[in-house]
A and B are shown apart, each in its own frame.
Chain A
Amino acid sequence: MDGNGFWNGIKSGAPIGLGYFPIAVAFGALAVKAGLIWWEAALMSVLVYAGASQFVGVSMLMTGSGLLQIVIATLILNLRHLVMSLSVNYRMRFFPPLGRRVLSLGITDETFALLTLGGGKQDQKALDPWFTAGLMAAAYAGWVTGTAAGALGAGWIPEGITTAITVGLYALFIGLLIPAVRRQRGPAVTAAAGMALSTLFGLVVGSGWAIVLAALAASGLGMLFWEKG
């Protein structure tokens, strides 16, 4: 084992882990508010490890959506990782096969961004296995420990604050959306269509299906406005 590479990876991944922590605390508290037991919230972070999907899953649970709707919404929301995983796997092509599979599970928007776009010192064409493992471990640790802390501490967080944290989840979505929307027309048109269609479909079907259908329809529409890259 290359301890030095692993340690350098942890150091590079630390900002992601530290950034995940408070968001995970908010998720843990929200999950408990939605009726999950603390270890169920932690288990979800261990096994699912996808921030936006977990927030969506839990908030859909609160509004009474069914299991299938939540799982489909999760799948749709995570299809983007297919593209990210393709590009990360290309950079991991010299890793042992098992290592590649395990590390592929650690791909998030943030680890993808750091592994492919960040860090001038890393070779952009081929990653170091232990560096990649360390970076992903730091991010994962922040997400899982934060969830457990938030879920266990949920009882001490007053009701008014947990409702406000629900708004914090929408703030997260808006914060993710705005940087892309201000740069390019494609994302802006797509997101606006998503909002309009979600509202429209919501008049006919339940909000869970309205979100799934709107995401599919709006992304199809957005595809036409997408800049070729």
Chain B
Amino acid sequence: MKVLLLIFGMSLVTMIPRLIPAWISSASDLPGWLQRWLESIPYAALGALIFPGIILVEREDPWFGLVGGITAAVLALLKLDLTIVMAGAVAVVLLYEHLF
């Protein structure tokens, strides 16, 4: 029950931002400050999500998540595909898990 409520709640709040522009007849421009705020939100949210969450994946060992995060950062800096970035990070973490 709790999960279904969560799904419907999340569904509603993902539909609203996608739908609002479909109801606006003309594509009138938003004010510049609002555009910049909306553009900056994903980066703020991603930053807040990544840290400190990544060091808490394995409560006893912050390096568990960090090893994967550093791998992901290096692969992303090499401009590799997102799927490869994810797969590479998971592979390195599995290796770390195996060795330590």
Contacts and interface: CB of A to CB of B under 8 A. Distances in A.
The size class of the interface chain A forms with chain B is 35 or more
A40 B18 contact: no
Contact of A211 (B2, B11, B41, B49): B49
Nearest to B41: A219
A85 B22 contact: yes
Given A78-B17, A170-B50, A198-B48, A19 B83 contact: yes
Nearest to B36: A226
B68 A78 contact: no
Interface string A155-180: 00000110111111011111111111
B10 to A, nearest CB: 5
B3 interface: yes
15 contacts: A48-B14, A61-B6, A82-B18, A161-B94, A163-B58, A167-B57, A167-B89, A168-B68, A170-B49, A170-B57, A170-B89, A171-B88, A180-B43, A194-B46, A218-B48
Contacts of B38: 79-80, 82-83
The size class of the interface chain B forms with chain A is 35 or more
A152 interface: no
Interface of B: 2-24, 27, 30, 32-33, 35-54, 56-58, 64-65, 68-69, 71-73, 75-77, 79, 81-83, 85-90, 93-94, 97
Contacts of A59: 53
Contact of A40 (B4, B40, B47, B82): B4
